Structure 1
């Protein structure tokens, strides 16, 4: 495809075709759904303004990924003084599965399918990625997630192939340091009855504010966080102590809706408000489940409900 074929409406059609996977790419780079939205808009604006630079030597998809990656690196340079530290990512936001489902299913070898593979969209993966410096982060995602050749990544970043390979090794070492030893083993298949039962019991115990029942579902090394609020609680005792001191056990009037984000089970909780005669959004708990126990709970605030397509209130 030559430059003159990127006029409207051809450009709009191509941009729309690749918008979702570009958004997922920016989300991996940035860890924030909202920042990814803004960066995709910036990417498409840059692409339109520079459409004459597309010479057809690569696919339009690869050309857009180059622009998107550079837009992410520019945003990181402007807004983030450095990578995440200490296991926490204050800017982390969830990604709704309903939007991941917008990409058509296909062979595992197809680039669009690889772009949204479950194991690289889980929150644990996102958190680990955010602990990498921006350029090694870009190298890791382009090489290991998208499968780009080292020479193409080197061309994008203006580096040598040797530099790219070195950055990839550093990035992989960083990922090993920050990824959990056991990855998410949740599946959405009907056969995963044990996991579904655990999520149901977690929901019921949470609505009942039954801390002993909840504690029994946690692994000894469970991790809990609530971005952007600082604080990472590690271990069952620390998590239970936090729940107890926060007054959770005394809460009444909760309801929970099971859902999924980042290809993980999640529960949206609502709290009864007499003044509204309705249950209003409270928190979203995203669960990582390993070996039949809850290994991690990442809690997001009510402001994420709308973007996730969750009800704004529950009646009755």
Structure 2
């Protein structure tokens, strides 16, 4: 039986990944942050710990000896990375490098392959020189989150050259009802639902013109599993190839809630505008389509629909 180890089990992607692997019959172990409540993860054996505690996590990984390692743990908010750049560097960068070393130690000790997937981000490209971006786009991040992710991304190549089946999945924005409300997409859908129910008056946002490539989180998790099990290890952009503005997302959310005249319900506050924000990120996932047989199954409007429906149903 395949044994997998997941970090970031408490997040959107970690929960979907665990569900997919358990459904496949994989023995799933996960690192749950020691200071947070244990997540609800049926079929998963949880191990309490802190990813930045290198020695403890390394001992755990060597003891478990997994076949697959998925590093999804991260300080996942770009905005928060400006507030805590040092912690972002430790969690998103240094801890990922340590986990790569631990996976290689397991491989060398047991003399069998260990497959490693690093959840990277389109934020590593910063203000890209081309659109859409692919795996050859220069890495030049604009914020602490992207810089830390870029370090981990580059370390994947270092360990791949050392013989580890290491993959960097360059994930573009991907959403679901499991997104925490500090993310702009979930803030939009939850607030729109509150407005529709008469419990809120306005939606306050930052840059409405920022454009992102938004997909469906379970699709992106599936891409990571395919990448782990591919014959050759390489990096993959995981994206839909279509960009929409924050304004588009807002309009789609209000439309789903049955509100067509929404402009006066949205307030732009400069407090929510990031110090440096890429104007457009859109990915070219040709390699993933060609080598992994992967393609997105849920379009932009459906993503927004699922999120608004979930927030409306939450009451």
When Rg is computed on C-alpha atoms for both structures, the one with the higher figure is: 1
Between Structure 1 and Structure 2, the one with more helix by share is 1
Q: TM-score, normalised by structure 1?
A: 0.31
